[in-house]
A and B are shown apart, each in its own frame.
Chain A
Amino acid sequence: MATRAEFLERIRREARRTDGLFTAATATRPARPEEAAEAVRRQMAERWPEALDLFRREFDRVGGVFHRAADPAEVPSVVLEIAREEGATAVVAWDPPVLGLDLRPRLVAEGLAVAVAASDPADETARRRHREESARAQIGVTGADLVLAETGTLILLSGRGRPRSTSLLPDTHVAVFDRSRLVESLAQVGILLEALHVDPARSMSGAMINFITGPSRTADIELTLTRGVHGPKHVHAIFVAAP
């Protein structure tokens, strides 16, 4: 195996042999990402209704199902409705403080099993139990850190109380969001990602960011579009009007 120094020196040696290359530039990054992100948020504080309309159209196009809840208190009823429609008996959800609401009182009263991601990550047994509960659940309920209108995409950061698999293992994924999460364009997402990485230790407690655009899909057998290969077959988004 080459050492890092040898490996990179070979690349530098080859680069010195090049000539007549055309002038090229990488994309221009925001000089002060956090200020640029603040500007995006200010813009979206005005423009969120248009973004929400666009998101609904695009989310529908990629196979998502949109719901509206008047306030956080109404969300458990919407989840319950989805659970009944799909004959689900077990739900897994992000930790209630992270999600901004607790599904348990309402859903447990209706006979559903609800697991939440509140266990201590250092506890091996608790981790294994959470994984089993996630694998068993038919519905996974998460928040959404950004909601990208132009492509109908939900963007989720993993971390404390927000496991990666809640939006992956169950057959149905339900994401809950409010107006503050809406952005219009991928370019804006670029700015917000730059801002998140200025001080990632402060802004993110996890190692993964997922962009989710509709259900899991494949066309690998005779190009027939089929849903739910490995990830969810159904994706729902609940917009909470009054946060």
Chain B
Amino acid sequence: MSEGLLNVPFSERAGAALGDRFLQEALTIATTKFIDLRKDSFAGFPEGDALRDQARSIKEATLQKLDVYLGQLADNVERLGGRVHWATTGEEARETILQLCRDRGVRMAVKSKSMATEEIELNEALEKAGVTPVETDLGEYIIQLAHEKPSHIIAPAIHKTKGQVADLISEVAGRRLAADPEVLTAAARVQLREKFLQAEMGITGANFAVAETGTVVLVTNEGNGRMVTSLPRIHVAVMGIEKVIPSMTDLVVFLAILARSATGQKLSSYTTLVRGPRQPGELEGPEEFHLILMDNGRSRQIAGTLREALYCLRCGACLNVCPVYRQIGGHAYGHTYPGPIGILLTAMLRGDESVKELAHASSLCGACKDVCPVRIDIPRMLIELRERLDRQKIAPWAERFAFGTLRRVLLSPAAFRLSSALGRVLQRPFLNNGRLTGLPLVLSRWTRTRDLPPVASRTFRERWKDLQ
């Protein structure tokens, strides 16, 4: 996937994003709009805060008995006539789907938006195996046509202009379409309707899975989730193990806050509850239902420092408020999951080494924690992650040296006094209108895009002494 992107250092990826004027404008408009929609939606919903506490508690309680709930879910899915597959790795999840395609002669699979299948790079694997994967969420369809990757968890194509979208959809249509969202959406409807009716397999993720009833829950706005689970002969749902919840009573708690956090809606247009394959009385629905329960690094964090990240509902609220995401967008992160939570999920799935740069792509301002529907303490985990990178010597030596020195200076009053005295002298050549600019060597990377306040001519301690 983005492996090509990862050959470029994070600073360059971020730099490119900062220089892209359309992206900058699109990001500002999109994230500001999402922030306002969320804020308005919770403003008229006084019970929201208590529900968020409850949702957090449910996630934790479920995690404490995860083996029990997964077992119960599997029993119920099998009782309903579905098949359950236990995938320890992403590789195994992918192979399970490919094997199903081979055995059933599947040539086309329609997909509704799923981060879990993005995580395992399923589309590439299907293509290689001769199966055509068709993304049917409009945003995902657009970026699939453009051969790109999603840049936002819930708005995958926010980085594309309507002109670019018109080019892509016109090419499929075989005629020139106006750069009008209405026209383009109508054209995509026709193009994808045909695929829904042709495809042998429908692939989805799961927003939740209810253990007690064996129900997979999909939350969508476009209706593609319903198409994919109603029309093809086979339905395959891929879910991370942390998506299981105990009961229907728990489900409605999450439904009350999920859409509000993501798009500011009270409920998304469609909430679809699926219990296994088509029942005997039904005219439609898949003959086969497969549930892939995927670990892929998640269980390692049950007793790990990223445990809380397993509460994540994938609503995207933390992306919109993050001052770093708002500047660089999703692609610069270089992995499936962007934004503050994305850094933690990437560390979970790909190991600490994969986020040695990204761990610092946060100002630790705490805005993400404030909006998280399940109050995940993202800043705390980012700090712990940085500490671990330092201890495991994964962080670059220059960084470790700088922080090591800073630590020694801050721990010794004498060294602190000496360093502020030194700073006052050394900063003189770089003072410009009372700000520090154009610092030399490594420090130049900081002052290239921002100024620093200078060391004060008299420190607080010196002034305090005078006052006494």
Residues of A164-220 contacting chain B, CB below 8 A: 164-165, 168, 186-187, 189-191, 193-194, 197, 200, 204-220
Binds B, one of A21-29, A42-50, A99-107: A21-29
Establish whether residues B249 and A223, one from each chain, have CB atoms under 8 Å apart when the complex forms.
no
Q: Interface 1/0s, chain A 142-170, versus B by CB < 8 A?
A: 00000000111100001111011100100
Asked if A121 CB lies within 8 Å of chain B CBs, one says yes
Q: What is the CB-to-nearest-CB distance from B337 to chain A, in angstroms, rounded to a whole number?
A: 19
Give chain A nearest CB distance to B165 CB in angstroms.
5
Do B161 and A222 touch (CB < 8 A)?
yes
- Which of B268-276, B319-327, B383-391, B411-419 forms part of the interface with chain A? B268-276
Q: Which of B4-62 contact A (CB under 8 A)?
A: 26, 29-30, 33, 54, 56-62
Whether A240 is near chain B, meaning CB under 8 Å from some CB there, is no
> Which of A12-20, A65-73, A74-82, A83-91 is the interface stretch?
A12-20
Known: A164-B230, A223-B29. A206 touches B279 (CB 8 A): yes
Q: Please determine whether B155 and A219 come into contact, CB atoms closer than 8 angstroms.
A: yes
Interface positions of B from 318 to 347, Cβ below 8 Å from A: none
Is B213 on the interface with A (CB-CB < 8 A)? yes
Listed stretches B179-187, B353-361, B460-468; interface member: B179-187
Closest Cβ of chain B: how far from A93's Cβ, in Å? Answer: 13
List the A side residues contacting B92 at CB < 8 Å.
Answer: 1-2
Q: How far is the CA of A12 from the CA of B64 in the complex (A)?
A: 10
Given A194-B247, A216-B221, are A206 and B281 neighbors across the interface (CB < 8 Å)? yes
A153 smallest CB distance to B (angstroms): 6
Minimum CB–CB distance for A193 against chain B, Å: 4
Which of chain B's residues have a CB closer than 8 A to the CB of A24? 56-61, 64
Across the interface, do B295 and A10 meet the contact criterion of CB distance under 8 Å? yes
B33 & A223 in contact (Cβ 8 Å cutoff): yes
Total A residues in contact with B, Cβ cutoff 8 Å: 81
Please indicate the chain B residues that have their CB under 8 angstroms from the CB of A216 in the complex: 221-223, 269-270
Find out whether the CB atom of A163 lies under 8 angstroms from the CB atom of B284: yes
How many B residues touch the partner, as a band?
35 or more
Cβ B161 vs Cβ A220 within 8 A:
no
**Contact between chains at A164 and B284 (CB < 8 Å):** yes
Q: Roughly how many angstroms separate A30 CA and B276 CA in the complex, as a whole number?
A: 25
B203 proximity list for chain A (CB < 8 A): none
* A58 adjacent to B61 (CB under 8 Å): no
Give A2 Cβ to nearest chain B Cβ, in Å: 5
Q: Is the CB of B156 within 8 A of A220?
A: yes
Interchain Cβ contacts under 8 Å between A and B, 25 examples? A1-B86, A1-B88, A2-B88, A7-B295, A11-B67, A26-B58, A26-B247, A26-B250, A30-B249, A151-B266, A160-B282, A163-B283, A193-B248, A197-B248, A200-B275, A205-B281, A207-B274, A208-B272, A208-B273, A211-B272, A213-B265, A213-B271, A218-B185, A229-B188, A229-B223
Binding site for A on B (CB under 8 A): 26, 29-30, 33, 54, 56-62, 64, 66-67, 70-71, 74, 80, 84-88, 92, 95-96, 136-139, 142, 155-158, 160-162, 165, 181-182, 184-186, 188-189, 192-193, 196-197, 212-213, 221-224, 226-227, 229-231, 241, 245-253, 255-256, 263, 265-285, 293, 295, 299-300, 302-303, 307
Having A4-B86, A121-B282, A216-B223, one finds 11 other A-B pairs with CB under 8 Å, namely A2-B87, A8-B67, A24-B59, A58-B266, A158-B285, A160-B282, A168-B226, A191-B249, A207-B274, A216-B270, A229-B221
